[in-house]
Amino acid sequence: MKQKTIKNKVEIIGIGLHKGVPVKMELEPLGVDSGIVFYRSDLGLSIPLKPENVVDTTMATVLGMGDARVSTIEHLLSAIAAYGIDNIRICLDNEEVPIMDGSSIGYCMLIEEAGIAVQNAPKRAIAIKKPIEIQDDKKFVRVEPSEKMIFDFSIDFNHPAIRQQHYKFTFNTKAYKEEIARARTFGFLHEVNYLRSQGLAKGGDLSNCIVLDESSILNKEGLRYKEEFVRHKILDAIGDMALLGMPLLGTYVSFAGSHKLNHLLTKQLLSDEKAFEIVSFEDKAEEESLEYAFGTH
Query: What's the mean pLDDT in 69-74?
Result: 96
Question: Count of CB atoms within 10 A of residue 43's CB?
Answer: 17
When mean pLDDT is compared across 5-9, 225-229, 283-287, the lowest value belongs to: 283-287
> Which residues are tagged catalytic?
259
125-294 carries CATH number 1.25.40.10: no
Of residues 1 and 193, the one with the higher pLDDT is 1
Determine if residue 236 is labeled as part of a ligand binding site.
yes
pLDDT of residue 16: 87
Q: How many CA atoms lie within 13 A of 13 on its CB side?
A: 2
CATH of 2-122, one of 1.10.3470.10, 3.30.950.10, 3.30.230.20, 3.40.109.10: 3.30.230.20
Query: What's the mean pLDDT in 262-275?
Result: 97
Query: What's the mean pLDDT in 259-270?
Result: 98
> Given a cut of 90, is residue 125 above it in pLDDT?
yes
- pTM, 2 dp: 0.94
> Given a cut of 80, is residue 200 above it in pLDDT?
no
When mean pLDDT is compared across 62-76, 166-180, 208-222, 274-288, the lowest value belongs to: 274-288
Determine if residue 18 is labeled as part of a ligand binding site.
no
Beta bridge partners of 40: 45, 92
Question: Count of CB atoms within 10 A of residue 41's CB?
Answer: 13
Query: What's the mean pLDDT in 5-9?
Result: 98
Give Rg (Cα) of the chain.
18
- Transcribe the chain into DSSP letters: -EEEEESS-EEEEEEBTTT--EEEEEEEE--TT--EEEEETTTTEEEE--GGGEEE-SSS-EEEETTEEEB--HHHHHHHHHTT---EEEEESSSB-B-TTSSSHHHHHHHHHH-EEEEEEE-EEEEE-S-EEEEETTEEEEEE--SS-EEEEEEEESSTTTEEEEEEEE--HHHHHHHTTTPPPEEEHHHHHHHHHTT--TT--TTTSEEE-SSSB--TT--SSTTHHHHHHHHHHHHHHGGGSS-EESEEEEES--HHHHHHHHHHHHH-TTSEEEEE--SHHHHHHHHHHTT--
Domains of the chain: which residue ranges?
Answer: 2-122, 125-294
pLDDT of residue 284: 46
pLDDT band at 287 (very low <50, low <70, confident <90, very high): low
pLDDT of residue 35: 97
State the average pLDDT for the chain: 92
Q: Which residues contact 115 (CB under 8 A, 6 or more apart)?
A: 6, 7, 8
pLDDT of residue 265: 98
pLDDT of residue 18: 72
> Given a cut of 60, is residue 292 above it in pLDDT?
no
Query: What's the mean pLDDT in 222-235?
Result: 97
pLDDT band at 111 (very low <50, low <70, confident <90, very high): very high
